[in-house]
Structure 1
């Protein structure tokens, strides 16, 4: 009974659903018909808004149909889930049989259609074959199957001309038909130059006939200007200094670089600066340069500044006293003026925009003086972070905010580790006297400092880093500027190249003169005697004079001895405090002291004006330090004198010293040094005796 009851209920529910479904279909059909009739009536009167409303209505109706369909599918799934298993089996079997019957009926229908088509084709073929409906196809002939046909008529004409009228044949060959290609292509088998001449002659004659007198005069003037311009470009014997910027050719720029001993490598290098006014520097920077008294740029400034303004990494190799400080300061100031000023207290502890590293305190202080001279009129603040001064005072200045930090590696690491300074905003790094920093053992410190700087704004190590247009686009973008790393050095040892490969991206290298060569304006003298200091000092050299020794004790002893004799001498070496160093330098610059006795601490970067002589009381241990020592004189285009005392203990540098003196145009190598056995070969060279010099013992 229960099964019967459930089956009756199920059938009734099924019938109700089918009835509802039929009602829905009928209702939707009536709605569609009603809408269709309404659209037919109002189609001519509809506006754009009504058509839009109709589309929305149609879309809504389509959505309702989809919802009904989904609801129907959902109801079917629910009904199937509530079905009795046996009933489900019967239903599936019934549906399977219906599908098979439908499939067989379709196959039978396809077979009948195929047979009818075949019969039709067969009847058509019989009609064409036997009732004259078949057309005769034309035979196709291939290129290889062509039948040769002798042109008797043409041959007869030729024989006729030869026999009766030779003038006709002669005119045929003399007056050839000219094929006009209208400036495109050439005829094969004929000289190309001859064809060009013939074509130009043809078009020239044609245009000559068509032109009026005025057009002919204009054409003559145009050709005259073209010939004049070509002649001017072909040869212009004027010197580059007599030409305007726009008239400079590649040849002029090559001569310009040769005149100033500028050598470059590394991608697209911009043209150097001829003078300050011609180059497109910002007006406020030009005013500062004029106030500082820079009349003409030095060779390193001429080439390094244009490269620096392109936001490219630079390696500058130039002699001491060549103006390297301004070469990296001017692009740095242009860079900083494009960035927002650090005025708010909240921004003061974010760190500087630029960091300048120097190997010694004296060089850092000298760079600070130059930076203040340039940056103070522009409102750019500078802080020096060096040893010998209270770290707390430096930390207070850093907290107040600054755009540029000038530091020595040791003190800068101390400040960074103690959280007095962060470099999260630093986008410009300068390594001055990089070779000296590496010689003093600062390479790990420099690498550690560079690791404090963010790497998110590094240049890509691709050709884009050498493309000036892309670099300038990034520079002018204002945000996410690439980090710029600049390295200046007097020599280029392997350690400096290794550091450059690690931290510089596709740098432009600028050589001024020859790297590691002595100053050309410094006359070098060598005295091979025990000690002759007093005779040299009494020979009439004007102060200031710098005397270099190798040891701190020798520095103090020599200065005291000179003071006892009556000379005003001061000392500068690593054992002195920072205040004592500054006091000694200020006395020498002010003229209170005439002689500075120093170690190699003063050998690099110290800029003292009008040093008349550098005396190497103790010869340097290597030729690089010697070159930097004598670079303290002969600066800023002036001449100078460098004198060296040599003893037997200095024989390891005799060869390099001899070569340095021979390469100098204003120096003469003494015969004692030139003929010395240790000056004939480089140290470490293994010599082999000639056969005639060997002694054979019997």
Structure 2
């Protein structure tokens, strides 16, 4: 039976009166928009509660070659990645490679790499690809937008093409060779689309499943054949529980944004997955963990997932912000934020901008406020249905709504072309979340700007960490922020205990071994405390 949930949504209705939204979607029902503008908002505000049945079936991904290999150009600072300090710890790491040719990939995969616009390896790819090709377990930490997805997909696809695949649509239970898990629907869909590029023209079939869509649709996609399964934790365990997925043949397990999954409360699901009776034990599978931050407590938990002799790769400033992002911290009181936001958006015209706020309710109200001020905006958060979330992202990518107001659901992993600005209307609770948010701009060597509103009353706990992040990224630190940071330190109200940990390999036996380019930054910050998932 279909799942039914009660969802409170913000309905922004036309001036002619209240416009009730259908509780059951039919073929002609339009979702994800108000006043006929998909993904956007109207003028008046009303609240309603409705019961919705999860019947959403996402549109199929494009099949034409041009759309599959669509990509955006690297920026003028792309070559700066080569200057990044890389540190590798663990026993006997394989040497890094400098070019795709050195990886000795097959001709089909090399063609797909070229079609996808990859011509030069990023540091995380130079070190991670040979490690994965060598069959080693890996924990990799690199800045957002630095090519982590290709770093694990390319060697896995290379292995699968070498070894052959066995999935068949005639089987009652599919047995994928690779399972990739990520915390959010948007991120896992991006990984799936990237996988489609690399397997193009082969018999390898990637499948993506995630919540907010019809369960039957997910099952149908899996049953058509599945070699690489891309999934969010909840939907993955649901489909496994329905015995549509078998785990006996899993050779590769990838946890992307692994720290975030644990922070968001998905630790039990991940432990259940690796302890599933049919899941090969860690000594008979290859496990990879990728993220932009890996604090010590997450590394300790990784001991349950990875082989003892796993390799640890840190690229650049572990947990630090990208220097391609121009960061500005403005002192703005809570009651002045809306006017300041409006002033900034009016000055940058229709440049693509992500605005981050601290609650789901506020995303809709800020987006509605901007629309009333003639600035096209849309929002994305967990209480919007999957159809609405996808429509909002599509409208943002196309430029129809150049402003996207979001909660942390969009802060991790989203790879959207040409995001010129990130505005932290509300600063997050942790410095790591700040780094991830501003990482939505300044990707792949492109430059970007990040503006954050700092309220003395609510953001004081971040002052010292912000000073450090700005300094490490060669950014100007406002005098008032330094003074505030010093005053907070003097009063003993500095960063909470336990929030500063090393982001290097915490295994004492491996500390310093196999290190490449030693002397890089060795400090980071803890993962954020549990924060309810969008």
TM class, shorter-length: 0.7 to 0.9
- Determine whether 1:662 maps to 2:471: yes
- Determine whether 1:489 maps to 2:489: no
- Determine whether 1:286 maps to 2:110: yes
- Determine whether 1:513 maps to 2:316: yes
Show the counterpart of 1:298: 122
- Determine whether 1:498 maps to 2:300: yes
Change in CA separation of 1:307 and 1:557 when aligned onto 2, cut-off 3 Å:
same
CA distance in 2, matches of 1:434, 1:447: 12
Q: CA deviation at 1:274?
A: 1.3
Which deviations, in whole Å up to 9, do the C-alpha atoms of 1:383-422 show, x marking residues without a partner? 1110011111111222222101111111111111122222
- Choose which of 683, 688, 691 in structure 1 pairs with 2:495: 683
Which deviations, in whole Å up to 9, do the C-alpha atoms of 1:179-214 show, x marking residues without a partner? xxxxxxxxxxxxxxxxxxxxxxxxxxxxxxxxxxxx
Structure 1 moving runs of 4+ over 3 Å: 256-260, 343-348, 453-458
Q: CA deviation at 1:616?
A: 0.1
Q: How does 1:576-591 map to 2 (within 5 A)?
A: 576-591=384-399
Q: CA deviation at 1:325?
A: 0.4
Change in CA separation of 1:344 and 1:597 when aligned onto 2, cut-off 3 Å:
closer
Change in CA separation of 1:449 and 1:343 when aligned onto 2, cut-off 3 Å:
closer
Q: CA deviation at 1:606?
A: 0.3
Show the counterpart of 1:651: 460
Task: Tell me if the contact between 1:541 and 1:613 (Cα under 8 Å) persists in the aligned partners.
Answer: no
Q: CA deviation at 1:349?
A: 2.1
- Determine whether 1:264 maps to 2:88: yes
- Determine whether 1:406 maps to 2:406: no
Change in CA separation of 1:403 and 1:650 when aligned onto 2, cut-off 3 Å:
same
Which deviations, in whole Å up to 9, do the C-alpha atoms of 1:559-610 show, x marking residues without a partner? 0000011111010001111111111111111111100000000010000011
Q: Partner of 2:326: helix, strand, or coil?
A: strand
Q: CA deviation at 1:277?
A: 2.7
CA distance in 2, matches of 1:494, 1:263: 16
Q: Partner of 1:615: helix, strand, or coil?
A: strand
Q: Partner of 1:355: helix, strand, or coil?
A: strand
Q: Partner of 1:546: helix, strand, or coil?
A: strand
Task: Tell me if the contact between 1:257 and 1:263 (Cα under 8 Å) persists in the aligned partners.
Answer: no
Q: CA deviation at 1:259?
A: 3.5
Q: How does 1:518-529 map to 2 (within 5 A)?
A: 518-529=321-332
Q: Partner of 1:538: helix, strand, or coil?
A: helix
Show the counterpart of 2:135: 311
Change in CA separation of 1:552 and 1:455 when aligned onto 2, cut-off 3 Å:
closer
CA distance in 2, matches of 1:389, 1:658: 42
Give the count of matched residue pairs: 407
RMSD between superposed Cα atoms in Å: 1.9
Task: Tell me if the contact between 1:424 and 1:453 (Cα under 8 Å) persists in the aligned partners.
Answer: no
Which deviations, in whole Å up to 9, do the C-alpha atoms of 1:625-682 show, x marking residues without a partner? 11100000000011111100011211111111121112211x2111111111226663
Change in CA separation of 1:494 and 1:373 when aligned onto 2, cut-off 3 Å:
same
CA distance in 2, matches of 1:370, 1:612: 23
- Determine whether 1:564 maps to 2:388: no
Show the counterpart of 1:545: 353
Q: CA deviation at 1:536?
A: 1.4
Change in CA separation of 1:679 and 1:523 when aligned onto 2, cut-off 3 Å:
farther
Q: Partner of 1:675: helix, strand, or coil?
A: helix
Task: Tell me if the contact between 2:142 and 2:291 (Cα under 8 Å) persists in the aligned partners.
Answer: yes
Change in CA separation of 1:622 and 1:344 when aligned onto 2, cut-off 3 Å:
closer
Show the counterpart of 1:7: none
Change in CA separation of 1:340 and 1:448 when aligned onto 2, cut-off 3 Å:
same
Q: CA deviation at 1:348?
A: 6.3
- Deviates most, 586-595 or 392-401: 392-401
Task: Tell me if the contact between 1:319 and 1:515 (Cα under 8 Å) persists in the aligned partners.
Answer: yes
Task: Tell me if the contact between 2:85 and 2:316 (Cα under 8 Å) persists in the aligned partners.
Answer: yes
Q: TM-score, normalised by structure 2?
A: 0.73
Q: How does 1:383-398 map to 2 (within 5 A)?
A: 383-398=207-222
Structure number with higher relative contact order (C-alpha < 8 Å, ≥ 6 residues apart): 2
User: Gaps (5+ residues) in structure 1?
Assistant: 1-255, 460-481, 686-698
Q: CA deviation at 1:544?
A: 1.0
Q: Partner of 2:405: helix, strand, or coil?
A: strand
Bigger fraction of residues in helix: 1
Q: Partner of 1:338: helix, strand, or coil?
A: helix
Q: How does 1:192-207 map to 2 (within 5 A)?
A: none
User: Gaps (5+ residues) in structure 2?
Assistant: 1-79, 498-534
- Deviates most, 511-520 or 340-349: 340-349
Task: Tell me if the contact between 1:350 and 1:424 (Cα under 8 Å) persists in the aligned partners.
Answer: no
Q: Partner of 2:163: helix, strand, or coil?
A: coil
- Determine whether 1:612 maps to 2:420: yes
